[in-house]
């Protein structure tokens, strides 16, 4: 397979995204995409079709390559690449760039990693003919279609559980509500408590980076970027060795603990699929009772505005373990918690299976991509 070398700036026009003005913001509409995730919605969009973007800065993820949603507004955390379609296929460019160590090679930041248009533009990649690119994209798109279908199923499953949570525990239209007395705003049989009363609160910690032997492939090490967009974390950027995990045994979380980011971007909530540890930016709840697990998950998601206020703002908020543990909550009756558990657990079991399936599909796709790019598999 013949390959030709190009500078990115010769085959792509580059521009930084921009923040939407307040007048454009909306509760629903077109997605606002930061490069990390969808952060809100706008009344109008900047880009009608998906764009290849490179995350230019931020806490974790700098250098990541993504495809934006269609009809979206892309923020200034990303560099938008408008490709020359006569030279490179959009999706092939995404596949190709995603294999490049952009952060390692192009980072110009000091306190925070950063990639600029000036140093991305001369970056060189090799490409096969446009015809070959499209054949490769056709092969790999089958994997991407399956992944996207699974992702949509995950969203629908979580949404169904969330809607029931809101119906029962926010709007108080739970089974039997017509015959339940409300005393001082609290349904009879419910009780006020603190988050710390729900179970053990564990704040993560980072084992010493000065000892490389602390890191390996034995135990997932979860950080906030691993949590974004994932109801259940299956894969992590870093893992600890058995030796590293043993340096802080009391930090290991059992599966289906509820993880809540409390430093930096606060209020991101997820489960862990397997035993894991987290860094110090995450407070985790290990429920004392299985019946509260899924109620706690959605309750924690409702805490984001409160956590931002407690932590000093949305940009670099910091909610300590003691502050987090002391947050007051109203705990529903045991019978209602059990009913919600019975509904939500099968949904989250499916979510976990679909998440694992997507991880396996992505791994198979990337393996095949490598073979296709190296010419080991004929197109």
- Report if residue 136 sits inside a domain: no
- Same structural domain, 79 and 201: no
Contacts of residues 331-334 at CB distance under 8 Å and 24 or more positions apart, as own/partner, are: 331/190, 331/191, 331/192, 331/193, 331/197, 331/198, 331/292, 332/168, 332/169, 332/174, 332/187, 332/189, 332/190, 332/295, 333/187, 333/189, 333/190, 334/291
Q: Is the pLDDT of residue 314 over 70?
A: no
Quote the domain boundaries for residue 289: 191-331
- Same structural domain, 117 and 196: no
- Same structural domain, 214 and 121: no
- Report if residue 92 sits inside a domain: yes
- Report if residue 339 sits inside a domain: no
Last residue of a domain, one of 288, 303, 331: 331
- Report if residue 363 sits inside a domain: no
- Same structural domain, 326 and 199: yes
Average pLDDT for residues 249-277, to the nearest whole number? 95
CATH at 203: 3.90.220.20
- Report if residue 108 sits inside a domain: yes
SS3 at position 53: strand
- Same structural domain, 213 and 119: no
- Report if residue 69 sits inside a domain: yes
- Look at residue 187 in the predicted model and tell me its pLDDT: 96
How many domains does the chain contain in total? Answer: 2
User: Which residues, including other chains, have CB under 8 Å from residue 315's CB and lie 6 or more apart?
Assistant: none
Q: Token pair of 202, please?
A: 């564990």
- Report if residue 166 sits inside a domain: no
How far is C-alpha 314 from the geometric centre of its chain's CA atoms?
17
Q: Is the pLDDT of residue 14 over 80?
A: yes
- Same structural domain, 105 and 195: no
- Same structural domain, 109 and 204: no
Q: Is the pLDDT of residue 315 over 80?
A: no
Could you tell me the pTM of the whole model? 0.85
Rounded CA-CA distance 76/44 in Å is 17
- Same structural domain, 197 and 323: yes
Last residue of a domain, one of 78, 94, 127: 127
In this prediction, residue 40 has a pLDDT band, given cuts at 50, 70 and 90, of: confident
- Report if residue 168 sits inside a domain: no
In this prediction, residue 256 has a pLDDT band, given cuts at 50, 70 and 90, of: very high
């Amino acid at each position: 397979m013949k390959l030709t070398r190009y500078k990115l700036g010769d085959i792509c026009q580059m521009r930084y995204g921009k923040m939407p003005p307040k007048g454009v913001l909306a509760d629903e509409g077109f997605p606002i995409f930061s490069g990390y995730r969808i952060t809100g919605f706008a009344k109008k969009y900047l880009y009608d079709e998906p764009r290849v973007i490179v995350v230019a800065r931020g806490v974790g993820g700098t250098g990541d390559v993504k495809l934006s949603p269609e009809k979206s507004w892309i923020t200034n955390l990303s560099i938008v690449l408008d490709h020359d379609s006569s030279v490179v296929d959009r999706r092939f460019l995404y596949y190709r760039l995603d294999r490049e160590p952009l952060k390692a090679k192009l980072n110009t930041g000091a306190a925070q990693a950063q990639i600029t248009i000036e140093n991305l533009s001369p970056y060189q990649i090799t490409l096969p003919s446009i015809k070959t690119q499209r054949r490769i994209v056709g092969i790999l798109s089958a994997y991407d279609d399956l992944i996207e279908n699974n992702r949509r199923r995950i969203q629908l499953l979580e949404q169904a559980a969330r809607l029931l949570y809101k119906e029962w525990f926010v709007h108080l239209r739970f089974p039997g509500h017509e015959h339940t007395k409300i005393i001082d705003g609290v349904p009879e049989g419910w009780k006020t408590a603190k988050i710390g009363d729900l179970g053990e609160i564990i704040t993560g910690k980072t084992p010493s980076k000065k000892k490389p032997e602390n890191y390996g492939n034995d135990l997932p090490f979860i950080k906030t970027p691993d949590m974004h967009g994932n109801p259940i974390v299956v894969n992590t950027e870093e893992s600890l060795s058995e030796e590293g995990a043993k340096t802080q045994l009391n930090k290991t979380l059992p599966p289906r603990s509820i993880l809540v980011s409390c430093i930096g971007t606060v209020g991101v909530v997820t489960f862990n699929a397997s035993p894991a540890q987290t860094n110090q930016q995450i407070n985790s709840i290990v429920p004392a009772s299985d019946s509260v697990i899924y109620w706690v998950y959605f309750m924690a998601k409702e805490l984001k505005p409160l956590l931002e206020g407690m932590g000093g703002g949305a940009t670099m908020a910091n909610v300590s373990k003691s502050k987090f543990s002391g947050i007051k909550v109203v705990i529903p009756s045991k019978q209602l918690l059990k009913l919600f558990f019975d509904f939500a657990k099968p949904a989250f079991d499916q979510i976990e299976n679909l998440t694992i399936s997507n991880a396996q599909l992505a791994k198979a796709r990337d393996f095949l991509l490598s073979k296709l790019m190296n010419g080991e598999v004929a197109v």
